[in-house]
Structure formats: structure tokens, C-alpha cells
Structure 1
Amino acid sequence: MPQARVRDIVEIIENAAPPALAETWDNTGLALGRMDDPVKKVWTALDPLPMVVEAACKNNVDMLFTHHPLLIRPLKSLDLATPMGTIVSMAVRHNLTLYSAHTNLDKTRGGVNDILTRRLGLESEKDLVPGQADQPGLGRVARLPEPGALEDVIARVKERLGLKWVRAVGNKNLKVDAIALCSGSGSSLLPEFFASGAQVYLTGDMGYHHARSVEDAGLACIDVGHFASEHLMVEAMAHFIQEQCDAQGLDVITEPCSLEQDPFAIY
């Protein structure tokens, strides 16, 4: 088999999630590394956390692909004693490439929002926020196989996502036939949810005043948390990258990182 290089893995990812789809504020793509470096092992993760990078280095991983970028805002300095400095120092010393696909992976067909939709056993009918020039946009709107009460939808979400709890707003008896969803932080898309025709909005990171707005509209929201709405991509993207490498005859092992947990705990 031919020797795979970083650019080969990047091409696989960018064919699936074109960088042009990313929001203008985003910092998707190569954060650290060289495109011509050889790759034999790839890990996928949600975040480039210090413990994830450390474990990747110890396990001879050549490339770490994450959903969340290492950096969103530019740094003015880099203290190697800080968590960010530790990540960069470890990655450089072990020749670990760091690469991310963020809002482009959220939007693209088959990306994070579609992974979430499928896990819920639903099919997307339209984008919550239409993209430009027939490109995919943010979020999805999907219809339930059969209408049901909000409490039944909550039970479905918990069972399908393997969650012990969710935060919910709305009358438990509210009749639901359509769900709008946005992986990660979706509070900024509340106006689009209100105009979507869906009765429930599934997302993460909803605040108090956002909840009141949903309540005032007579609608519902299910907040599954940022982590639970996006961590699904870790296993899905590991499978996708491995499948593409095998199809291209590239000698690469791709594995999902198993170390990450939701930072929030319920006591």
C-alpha cells in the first residue's frame, strides 16, 4: 500500500466537508503540522484537549482530527506552561498533526447535524438556516414518523442518545410532529426555529432567557448539552475516514478517541 500523508487525509475530510462552507469567524483546517508528513495512525475526537493530545502522542498517533479547532481567536503570546502551550509543545515534539473541521462539518450533508438526525431515527426535510447558492446550511428540520406528545419525544431522545437526563422547556402534552435541531450551541438560531414550523428545538447551551422565549411562543426545547449533540461525530468520522482510506488503498488505521466525557455532571 502507498504511504499516506497528511494531505491525503485532509483531502478526504475536505471532500466531505468543504472549508468554503465554514462560517467567516471560524478557524477550520490545519492548526499544526505539515501537509507532506507521513500518516499511519489517525485519531478522531471532539476537542484537542491536553489529555487527548497526550494520549495521542503516547499511542504514536500521527494526526488528530477534531471537530472543535485548537484556536478560534489569534494568540498574542504562547506560554508553554499553559494548557494551550502544553498542547502545542507536545504536538510539536511528537510530530502530531492537528486538524479540525468545525462549522463546515456542521453544515455539510452527512455531517454533524445529519449524524444527529439519523441517530434520532429521523430524516431531514430541510435546513433550519438555508445555505447560500444551494449550499447546505446550519441545522436541520425533521418530521417524526408519527406525531406524539413532548414527553414521548423527550423519552425518544434520551433513549436514542443514551442520556440519563436532558433539560426541557414546554408543556409535556404539547403535540409534536416536527423537530428543529442544531448540534452544539443553537441559541442564536431561535428566530429560525420559531419560523420553521417545528414544535420542538433540540440543541445545546440554551440559556434562561432563551428558555423563556420558547415558553412564551408556546413551543418546546430539548437541551441535550453541547457534548451529547456533537460527540456522535467522533465514531462516525473515524469510520468514514477509515472507509475512504481503505477504498484508496492507503495504509492507515483510524480510531475514535475514547477518553472524552461531558464536562458537566449531575449530582
Structure 2
Amino acid sequence: MKKVNGHEIISLFEQWSPKRFAEDWDPVGLHIGQLNRQVEKVLVTLDVNEDVIDEAIEAGANLIIAHHPPIFRPMKHIWTDTPQGRMVEKCIKYDISVYAAHTNLDVASGGVNDLLADKLGLNHLEVMEVTHSDPLYKLAVFCPVEQADELRAALTKAGAGAIGDYAGCSFTSTGIGRFLPQDGADPFIGEIGKMEQVEEERIEVVLPGPLRQKVLKAMLDAHPYEEPAYDFFVLDQRTDAYGLGRVGTIKEPAKLDDFADYVKEALDVPALRIVGDGNKIVKKVAVLGGSGSKYIHSAKRKGADVFVTGDIDFHTAQDAEAMGLSIIDPGHHVEKVMIAGVALKMEQLCKESGYEVTFIQSVIDTEPFRFI
């Protein structure tokens, strides 16, 4: 196991939950401090407040990964006699950096919404509101026949040629490559000033857009030629769709009120609000962590019988009732499922990379509401 800095940890995190998944208005990323220093312990939390920072200090953590951005709106001043100013001051004083992953973590596979869907026991999941899909590319590269297998292996290792449940997919055709090395060249094959003919393979592989630079680097590193010939083509096909919310089915149809009792227990909340006839039979469920008022139409279009989400306002509840969509509102704080989810995921990713770092799950309750 090797020591690791903040950049290396967040690089792994962003491969799983990239910032490009975030909504345009969402200030994700590094909020306080720096990443260019060694990190031994990381605290994972839903929110950041002074109690959470004190928890990090006591645990010896010098990096916090949070879901809700602690600086959501730009700060015009840092007054250290205010709660937010004291929080920033304490982070700087104790060398604690704070990184926020908000709507990108909602969208990511295995992120907040998948964790909630898992808690509710939903099956046959699909994305409720698609927000992202990346273009597929095709790389065509020409290589001497003798080195083609080695190049294909390097491309596969970089992630190219993955189609569905298959890896290492490629197509090969053969032909004759011609080139004339000139003064200053350092040819792998051939001589300066002499036209060369080489039996070559044209290797074609597909890859998702985000892997383009990684695959290009792997190809250039593995290719025997000083100046390899290659092309990237943008394809009409797209990668898997990513987005907000999940829709799935429960194992057995249930009455709305009975399912609400199950949601209350599964998401560990003291109370929840319900819209709809308690005797209505529900089978298909939409779930969205956080505030879901804007997405009732998306849930309805997906055929959901009930929408589990937080922060439903009065008029949205009326609209949902009128369109025949039941709602279960367990509150915003159910996103706390990300604490264990992120800690376990990052432990796995860091272990696979050989990083020596500990992830701590915050135990501070940041729910602002009390129920009586």
C-alpha cells in the first residue's frame, strides 16, 4: 500500500462520479483548502457544519467529502464571527480540505439514487430523467502485423473495445502501408530516404467519449511507430444514459399506506407525508433523493404509481394528486444513505489502486427538523 494525496483520491472519485454529471447551477468540487498534500483519513458526510468539522479534527481527517456544498452561494466576505466564516476559519486552521459532490453523485451509477432504490428494494431499474449520455467514438489505427496483438491488448486495458458484456472487441483488416523516412526521422522500420512498404493491420475499436484521451495515450505509448497513423470517428450511437432519479418495481404489489410504512422503516425516518388514496395498489416506484417537486411529470411519464422524494410543496402535491400520481415524502435528509455508500465505494477503489487511506463515516446528525 502506498501513501496518497488528495488529488489521487479525488481523481478516483471523479472517475466514478464525474463533475460533468452535475447540473450547471451546482457548485461541485473543491470548496475549501487544497488537494496537493498527503491524506491519511477522509471523513464522508451529508452536510458540513462546525460539528462535522470538529468530528474531522477529532478523527484526524484532513479531507472531507460531502454531498451538500458548504458554500452554495458565493461568499462576499469571510467574517469569522459568523457560522459559515467560523467553519472556513476552522478548516484552514486545522488543514482540512472540503470537497462536495452533489448532483453528480445523484446521477452516478451507484450514487445517491441507486442507493435509495436499493434501500427500497426496487428491481428492474431505469433512469427517471435522463440528463447525460456521451458519444461513442471509433478509433482506427494502422500497425505492423507483428506488433498488432500487443497494441490491441493495450487498447483493451485502457477501456476501448468494451461493448455490453464483452471486452476486447475489435475489427482488423490487412493492407500495405507506405512511407518515406526523411532527415530527422527515427524510423522503427525502414531507412532514411528509402520508400518502405510494410504489411499492416487496421485495428478498429469503439470507446466512450470520456475515455478518448486515456485510449489515445495508451495507443501512442504502445505503438511501435514514431508517427502512427490513426483516426477518431464520432458515431451516431451514444453510451448508456445517465440521469436523475430511478424507477423500478417492488417485489409484490402493495397498498400505498403499507408501502409508506415500509419506506419509513427502510429509510429510517420518524415521519413522512403521503399524497394519494391509502388503499391504492402500487407496483412501480420512482425515487429521487433531495427535492423532487420539479420531477413529478417525469415520474408520471415513466409509469410510476408512487413517487418517493423530498420537499414536496403544497401546490405540487395538488398537481400530483390530480394526475393520479401518489407521493411519499420522507424528507430531504434521506440522502444520508450516501455516507456509507461513498465510504464503502471509495474504500474499494482505493484498495484496488493500492492507496493507504481510511474512510470514516460521519455520525453527526445534520437533520434540521424535529418531529413531535
Is this a same-fold pair by TM over 0.5?
yes
Structure 2 length as normaliser, TM-score?
Answer: 0.69
Aligned to 1:112: 112
- Hey, what's the Cα distance between the residues in 1 that align with 2:58 and 2:86? 14
Among 362, 365, 372, the residue aligned to 1:257: 362
1:231 aligns to 2:345 (yes or no): no
- Write the distance in 2 (CA, Å) between the matches of 1:243 and 1:127: 25
Q: What residue is the counterpart of 2:73 in the other structure?
A: 73
Query: Percent identity at matched positions?
Result: 34
Deviation of the 1:135 alpha carbon: 3.6
- Which residue of 2 is the match for residue 7 of structure 1? 7
Aligned to 2:102: 102
| Structure 2 counterparts to residues 53-92 of structure 1, below 5 A | 53-92=53-92
Q: Does 245-254 or 93-102 show the bigger shift?
A: 245-254
Q: What corresponds to 1:209 in structure 2?
A: 315
Structure 1's consecutive aligned runs of 4 or more residues displaced over 4 angstroms after TM superposition are: none
TM-score (norm 1): 0.96
Tell me the distance in 2 between the aligned counterparts of 1:50 and 1:154: 34
- Secondary structure (helix, strand or coil) at the match of 1:95 reads coil
Work out whether residues 113 and 140 of structure 1, in 8 Å CA contact, stay in contact via their aligned partners in 2. yes
Tell me the alpha carbon deviations over residues 179-209 of structure 1, each in whole angstroms, 9 at most, x when there is no partner: 1111001111122122221110100011111
Aligned with 1:188 (options 267, 272, 294): 294
Alpha-carbon distance in structure 1 between the residues aligned to 2:124 and 2:324: 23
Post-superposition offset of 1:149: 1.3
Contact 2:45 2:64 in 1 (8 A): yes
Q: What is the CA-CA distance between 1:68 and the residue it aligns to?
A: 0.7
Q: 1:124 to 1:56 in 2, by over 3 A?
A: farther
Distance 2:249 2:110 in 1: 18
Where does 1:145-224 land on structure 2 (aligned, <5 Å)? 145-224=251-330
| 1:3-23 per-position Cα deviation (integer Å, ceiling 9, x unaligned) | 110011101210110111000
Task: Report if aligned partners of 2:111, 2:341 keep a CA contact under 8 Å in 1.
Answer: no
Structure 2 residue runs of 5 or longer lacking an equivalent are 134-239
**Counterpart in 2 of 1:20?**
20
Q: Deviations over 1:146-172 (max 9, x none)?
A: 222111211221221223321111001
Q: Deviations over 1:72-101 (max 9, x none)?
A: 221221211111111110000111010011
- In structure 2, distance between residues paired with 1:75 and 1:157: 38
1:247 deviates by: 2.0
The structure richer in strand per residue is 2
Residue in structure 2 matched with residue 266 of structure 1 by the alignment:
371
Q: Tell me the SS of whatever aligns to 1:141.
A: strand
What is the CA deviation profile of residues 106-133 of structure 1, one whole-angstrom value per residue up to 9, with x for unaligned ones?
A: 0011110000000111135321111233
- Specify the code of the residue in structure 2 equivalent to 1:48: V
CA distance in 2, matches of 1:262, 1:80: 24
Distance 1:74-1:124 versus aligned 2 partners, 3 A rule:
farther
How far did 1:136 drift? 0.5
How far, CA to CA, are the matches of 2:58 and 2:82 in structure 1? 20
Query: Displacement of 1:227 after TM fit?
Result: 0.2
CA distance in 2, matches of 1:141, 1:135: 14
Q: Which runs of 5+ in 1 are unaligned?
A: none
CA contact (8 A) 2:247 2:284 kept: yes
- How much has 1:33 moved relative to structure 2? 1.9
Alignment root-mean-square deviation, CA:
1.3
Match for residue 93 of structure 1? Answer: 93
Counterpart-to-counterpart distance in 1, 2:362 and 2:123 = 28
User: Are the equivalent residues in 1 in contact too, given 2:47–2:366 (CA < 8 A)?
Assistant: no
Name the count of aligned residue pairs. Answer: 266
1:225-262, Cα deviation, whole Å (9 max, x unpaired): 0002x000001111111222222221111110101242
